[in-house]
Structure 1
């Protein structure tokens, strides 16, 4: 048996443990960061000097200060200080300043791109060509959002 869960590194209560509420509360604090995660920014290496309670960031590849050793994790400011949830493939966060999402994969954090404008077919002699172009644009946009496989 391990001391933490495999994906989110949540602390486990072990048999005979004293002060089980401490472990349980720590797990709740980490879940508050991880579930429907919303971050201020992605790839930040320097912890903010005056974070607000509940704010989160995706730690960059070369963290400093209180974030040293937490590259790629989601860092959340809590009443007890910084808490970190490790990234795992498929972990997705909302990015507040862009209104888009970022997803972690084996290549690191990737921000979703804005879908390309799709031109609607307008009829006439080249409707088949226009329709094929519109369908291609839609497929490209859906693949860019990771809603369809490449």
Structure 2
């Protein structure tokens, strides 16, 4: 039979043992340190000069001090009966760090922040695993971002993607089988760009909105020079004379009339009638 418990190291009272209270009291001190464990800090490297009875610390790398120099990294150093005692953690130990307000989990090798305090969580995976690149990973069929009824400006809901500088990228990448097929955002500059790809490797720019002018370019390789700048033919919808849309919806509309007298023709709205672009005659 071993003399201590396997996880916390509580001393067992042995048969015919003298001064059994010593073993029991030592176990109670150990339990007092690790049950509902709260440490003053998990990052303090200098051993405090005047610790209070019961003060506990998770020992980080680079620790120093008369007692801490000889105690192991990751161990819980608790000040009891006038001296620091090290308690080695087992995988699954939880501790609350009072200086940061964070909960820590010992994974068998290191103490890691767990998402119970809400702030400064290094990574979070919801129904999937997060990694160093994808610090937030969500596996779900839908994601909801709703307004906050409590904060000022409630009723608004915005998703913000911030980049470090003009030459960087802030975009939304749409994938099929984790291979990119479309990208929308600020891609290498501050102009709004839409790109598509058939293989995830080569992307073709479809549309660009110039940040300085608001001009929109379609299929261009240069900056658009007018409100709509298209690199190629433009097609408008075709209508029969009997099914023309309302011209009064707005002057300046352009359509293609497929069966106008004299043949198919482009027509524009003057705000009241559709007129042929060829001779300005009302379409009939």
1:33-77 deviations in Å (ceiling 9; x for gaps): 000000011144432111011111001235443131432111111
Match for residue 198 of structure 2? none
What are the superposed Cα offsets for residues 114-140 of structure 1, whole Å, 9 maximum, x if unpaired? Answer: 359xxxxxxxxxxxxxx62439xxxxx
The structure number with the bigger radius of gyration is 2
Cα distance, 1:104 vs structure 2: 0.6
* Alignment root-mean-square deviation, CA: 2.3
2:102 to 100, 103, 118: 100
Instruction: Please identify, of 34-43 and 59-68, the stretch whose mean Cα deviation from structure 2 is larger.
Output: 59-68
Shift of 1:25: 0.5
Residues of 2 paired with 1:7 and 1:36: CA distance? 16
Distance 2:14 2:52 in 1: 33
Q: Does 1:20 align with 2:20?
A: yes
Q: 1:57-76 counterparts in 2 under 5 A?
A: 57-64=57-64, 65-67=66-68, 68-76=70-78
Structure 1, unaligned runs of 5 or more = 117-130, 136-150
Q: Is 1:87 paired with 2:98? A: no
Q: CA deviation at 1:3?
A: 1.6
The more displaced of 102-111 and 56-65 is 56-65
TM-score by length of 1: 0.70
Alignment of 1:3 with 2:3, yes or no, is yes
Return closer, same or farther for 1:62/1:10 CA change in 2, 3 Å cut-off.
Answer: farther
Cα distance, 1:80 vs. partner? 4.4
Larger RCO, structure (CA 8 Å, separation 6 or more): 1
Structure 2 unaligned spans of 5+: 121-141, 147-284
| Residue 145 of structure 2, aligned match among 129, 134, 140 | 134
For the residue of structure 1 that corresponds to 2:17, the secondary structure is coil
TM-score scaled by length of structure 2: 0.39
| 8 Å CA contact 1:30, 1:84 repeated in 2 | no
**Matched residue, 2:35:** 35
2:71 touches 2:86 (CA, 8 Å); kept in 1?
Answer: no
Superposed structure 1 runs of 4+ greater than 4 Å apart: none
Q: How many pairs are equivalent?
A: 121
